Amino acid sequence: MLNAVRFMAAVVVLGVMVPAVSPMLVCSAAAQGSAGYEAPPVMLATEALPPDLVVGPDYRVEDFVYNDGAINKYQVTSTFGRASVQSTALLRLRIGELRGLRRLEQLAATDLYVRARQAAQTGALRDQKRLIVGEPAAGEGPSSGVGTFFGTSASVSGADIAGDVTETAARFDRFKRAFAYAAGFNPYSRFDAVQQNLREFAWNCFAGGVSVEDAFAAIADAPIQPVRVTAFEDAVNRRVRDESPAQLRERNLAMLVAMGVDESVARLLQSQSRYTPIAKTIITEALERMHDVRDRQVFVERGALIEDTAMAQLLQGWAELLAGYHTNIEPARAMLRLGQSPFLLTADGKVVGVFAMDLLVWTPQTARAVDGVTAAVSRLPDVRGRELWFAGSVTPLTRRNLEQRGWKVQEQAAAKLALR
């Protein structure tokens, strides 16, 4: 699970739709201090989230939701324990993963899987499981055993390849990535429950001689199906399924260099351990979608300097939102660095910031960040407009202050900015 952290409002980003600010806030964000600021609110989960996210078959979001000035923090109790979840987008991801785990429960009840598990426990590979499967650090890769993470074939079972442990480990890695794709999981998820169950179920099918296709055909008509994804997400998921982390890294590096990013900067991003392989791939693919946009290195430099895994999740979403604005709203011609944040410069001279805050509150930190960016924009030549797009919401006080500084504000823009 990701640890809770606090972020400055200027740099917290994540693509997520959040309901409008409710009058039922437990501590109203409209309660202003003597200096014209407001305190981050404490909200009821039922007011901060749509009903389908508050409670499900195997989880419940606890009553109170805490906002740090930009991002919401949730406490979630599930069949796998209690955990803090930082941001609505990550909450949606975790809920989707819980749905995937319920699909594995359906698989566990099939005769096919029961036979595969028995075969895995008694077959030729039973003594190699500990060495091959290992216990990886969450999100760092599928195996800490002797897997070498090469090759691309995913349609393979392991019952007939017990001879060489290294080759078996490499084949299991490919099998596990294919299994994760079919189950609807990120194979590098940082959710421990996903990693533990993915290793166990994939190994039993692999060592028990059951292909990925046959395993999921057995639950094709089950009531719980995978979460639907966009074409962009599926394209990335397929690439992660078919290529090892090393292959992804080399492909991503080549793509970044081809779009004009300095190779040393590109390597810095690709070697950043806070990102999972899929996050690095999403960032690279999103930037690649921004055809003919100059200075995309601005984003890569920002992304390479993160210090924790929570910020890595946010940067991934930020890249998707920027690309979504370029492809869905208006083409950009360049990226600009304003403060610590990448902004877009459109063909008609607008400066556009795109952010994914759950709820932006007018705190002293917000005011300092906005004033710094506003001053920087005022020094640019030939600027014909300035806009801020938010996937979530801003408080009325925040909107008023932004508009007074000359910014046009667009809230609840997640659907418009989503890459498809």
Which one, of 327, 321, 345, lies nearest residue 410 by Cα?
Answer: 321
**pLDDT at residue 136 tops 50:** no
State the pLDDT at residue 234: 94
Mean pLDDT of the chain: 86
State the pLDDT at residue 133: 87
CB of 19 closer than 8 Å to CB of 48: yes
pLDDT-derived band at 3 (thresholds 50, 70, 90) equals very low
Helices 263-270, 245-258: inter-axial angle, 10-degree rounding? 150
State the pLDDT at residue 389: 98
State the pLDDT at residue 20: 37
* High-pLDDT (> 70) share of the chain, %: 85
> Which residues contact residue 316 at a Cβ distance below 8 angstroms, ignoring those fewer than 6 apart?
275, 279, 282, 283
State the pLDDT at residue 80: 87
Task: For the beta carbon of residue 355, count every other beta carbon within 10 angstroms.
Answer: 26
> What number is the average pLDDT over the span 96-116?
95
State the pLDDT at residue 191: 92
- Conformation bin of residue 69: beta by default, left when phi > 0, alpha when psi is -120 to 50: left
Which one, of 336, 335, 314, lies nearest residue 323 by Cα?
Answer: 335
Helix ranges (H only) for 135-244 are 165-183, 192-207, 212-217, 231-242
**pLDDT at residue 346 tops 50:** yes
Q: Tokens 């504000």 — which residue? A: 409
Q: Between 301 and 58, where is the model more confident?
A: 301
Structure tokens, 236: 């990335």
Structure tokens, 327: 């492809």
- Cα distances from 93 to residues 85, 99, 184, 377, 404, in angstroms, run 10, 10, 11, 35, 36
Return the DSSP state at 64. Answer: E
CB of 25 closer than 8 Å to CB of 393: no
**pLDDT at residue 15 tops 80:** no
Q: Between 141 and 308, where is the model more confident?
A: 308
State the pLDDT at residue 251: 98
According to DSSP, the β-strands at 393-394 and 341-346 are unpaired
pLDDT-derived band at 124 (thresholds 50, 70, 90) equals confident
State the pLDDT at residue 413: 95
pLDDT-derived band at 223 (thresholds 50, 70, 90) equals confident
Q: Rounded to an integer, what distance in angstroms lies between the CA atom of residue 358 and that of residue 379?
A: 30
Give residue 375's Cα distance to chain centre: 32
Q: Rounded to an integer, what distance in angstroms lies between the CA atom of residue 229 and that of residue 100?
A: 13
Q: In this predicted model, what pLDDT tens digit does every residue of 137-181 receive, in sequence order? A: 444 333 322 222 222 333 444 444 444 788 899 999 999 999 999
Q: Rounded to an integer, what distance in angstroms lies between the CA atom of residue 91 and that of residue 99?
A: 12
Q: In this predicted model, what pLDDT tens digit does every residue of 224-274 receive, in sequence order? A: 777 788 899 999 999 999 999 999 999 999 999 999 999 999 999 999 999
pLDDT-derived band at 380 (thresholds 50, 70, 90) equals very high
Q: Rounded to an integer, what distance in angstroms lies between the CA atom of residue 402 and that of residue 398?
A: 6
- All structural domains of the chain with their residue ranges: 111-217
State the pLDDT at residue 228: 80
Which one, of 12, 38, 15, 9, lies nearest residue 25 by Cα?
Answer: 38
State the pLDDT at residue 183: 94
> What number is the average pLDDT over the span 49-74?
95
